[in-house]
Structure 1
Amino acid sequence: MSAAATLLVQMARDSGRAVVTEFDLFVLARQLFRDRGYRGTKLPSRNGPLNARRARKLLSEATFDLGHYPGEVPSHYLRRDPDFTSVLFTVGDGDATKVILDADPFGYLSHASALAFHGLGADTSELHISAPMRGQWAGCARHYMAAMLGDDLNSDSDEERLFPLTKPKPCPEVRGRPLHRHELSNPLSPTSFDPDRTRVSPPGATFRDTLAAPAWCGGMDQVIAIWRTQAAHYVDAIICAVAEASEKIVRVRAGYLLEEVLGIRDPRIGAWLADA
């Protein structure tokens, strides 16, 4: 393994992530060649400017695909992650939540997993992740790549064609947990999340989602029980989130639960009668 590839592997493992994509590695490679070294170790002078050919060779030196190698992968390589059919590499420890959120920069915990995260429902072995639908995901990826590379959105460089950010394809189980990945037409915007915190739908949106897809939240009986015991603490957030719902049935269900079950009166709820 070359000195440059060794430094790239170290950068990836120091990133704090559990998995990285080829695009992530390319971003790190650009940083390595821009700084001409990493943490006091200089990049050998024989390494010229980073171009597409050199970047591809560098990533090839730093990674190993178990599918093409019958033995144990040496520890100084980045191993292809076995929980994805798309190309990702394991770089650090992490549970299923961290792995899938590191793999998909636009995914977030939702439904039953969000309920458990906020202490609104019991934790389950199943992991629920929501993300934009295919076309929306590609648009988000284009903006993300441009921001990370510092390039114009209309650029069509060799590097961007060679290392595109593509939607992850996880296996049915990630780190031993059954995964449910929901592609939504109206997901939460990536800009609505704090980059330093776990990406998870906030309580108001989570309550709204329980009515849009109760089957992903333990079933309607479980959803009603959660609303009976917890919804009164989040009334304003719930009303704001439900008002933005694209499905009329969500407002009808929310209006019934808030008014008839919880006895809450609010003029904003009355406006939803038109949806009944």
Structure 2
Amino acid sequence: MMKPAAEILVRMARDSGVSVISEFGLYILARKLFADRGYAGIPIPPRNRNLTYRRARNLVSEATCDPEWQDERRLPRDEDFSSTLFTVAPAGTVSVMLAADPFACLSHGSALSFHGLAPEPPEVHLVTPERAQWQQQANAIVESVMGWPFEEIEADELPFRPTRPVPHRDVRGRVVHRHEMRHPIVMEQRGELRAAAIGETFRDALDKPDWCGGIEAVIDVWRRHALKHLDAIIATVSASSEKILRVRAGYLLEEVLGIDDIRITAWAADAQRGSSRKLDSAAPYASRFSARWMLSINVADSSLPSTTKPEA
């Protein structure tokens, strides 16, 4: 039989609105439970005094179970992850992944769909900070919970630590692709959904078109929507460390869309004469090219402007 404090902890998790929760997430709820001495008008027994290291671990253990137990009173271990997460409520792939990783957001084709620029792809793409940066952000959360610098927290004072979620290939029936990013992730949030900001979404689509339905689908998005988001695109592309992104973006904005802007003109300095740069990095080099941007227009779309004409 479950102890009253464990029953209350399970209720707190289910009332939280998240689809999955980590051991550290349960520990945060347990700290609030013990600080408030109860939840939703239900007190915890007086014998439950301070939330010690051992009591916290026992409490989380009692509130959770392995999936094969089929104990509806407890939170089952989530089988779509090899890391330790527990299922709280039914939800789709996107909701589960964003709940599992608080620092991740939708990216590439999934971000295009979030912004209403393209249909939702069958597979889910997300970006998350690379390992060291992820841990730094996690440590900051630990500090906010514990109330003192992470370096001063002793091992026996913190029963659970945030850990990076490790999903299986399929989560809730959809293939998930997680991409680690070294640069800061700029995101937008709507309700429970988070996605790369609009400028970053245009940049990432041009950088990895295969994750967005292919280069022709990406060019179509730029043709139809780039003008509405021009300032955000220019700011993001200008800040990129990849010169080839400015070259590709410059070609699309200036030669395809006919935009005359000194900020775009400045990108022409990144063009390299005699290089083998291509509009589509995954396709073979083509003889059609842009002399201004020194870029092979290696896309099967004859409407794209070029300095040269196709060979006979």
Shorter-chain-normalised TM-score: which range? Answer: over 0.9
Q: Distance in 2 between matches of 1:266 and 1:154?
A: 49
Structure (1 or 2) with the greater helix fraction: 1
Q: Does 1:104 align with 2:105?
A: no
Q: Of residues 132, 145, 149 in structure 2, which corresponds to 1:135? A: 132
Q: Does 1:82 align with 2:83?
A: no
TM-score, scaled to structure 1: 0.94
Q: Which amino acid aligns with 2:42?
A: T
C-alpha displacement at 1:159, in angstroms? 5.6
Q: Distance in 2 between matches of 1:138 and 1:164?
A: 10
The Cα offsets for residues 39-59 of structure 1, whole Å up to 9 and x where unpaired, read as: 100110011211100101111
Cα-Cα RMSD = 1.5
- Segment of structure 1 superposing worse, 144-153 or 110-119: 144-153
2:147 alignment counterpart: 150
Q: Does 1:229 align with 2:224?
A: yes
Following superposition of structure 1 onto structure 2, how do residues 10-159 of structure 1 map, counting pairs within 5 Å? Answer: 10-66=11-67, 71-158=68-155
2:197 alignment counterpart: 202
Q: Which amino acid aligns with 1:18?
A: S
User: Which structure would you say has the larger Rg?
Assistant: 2
C-alpha displacement at 1:148, in angstroms? 3.1
Size of the aligned set, in residue pairs, is 270
1:214 alignment counterpart: 209
Q: Distance in 2 between matches of 1:231 and 1:254?
A: 10
C-alpha displacement at 1:196, in angstroms? 4.5
Q: Distance in 1 between matches of 2:213 and 2:238?
A: 23
Identity in percent: 50
Higher RCO structure (Cα 8 Å, ≥6 apart): 1
Q: Of residues 255, 263, 276 in structure 1, which corresponds to 2:258? A: 263
Q: Of residues 243, 248, 259 in structure 2, which corresponds to 1:248? A: 243
Gaps of 5+ in 2: 272-312
Q: Of residues 172, 177, 202 in structure 1, which corresponds to 2:174? A: 177
C-alpha displacement at 1:155, in angstroms? 2.4
Contact kept, 8 Å, 1:20 with 1:88, in 2: the verdict is yes
TM-score, scaled to structure 2: 0.83
The Cα offsets for residues 113-161 of structure 1, whole Å up to 9 and x where unpaired, read as: 0001111112111000100111111111111221233332322233665
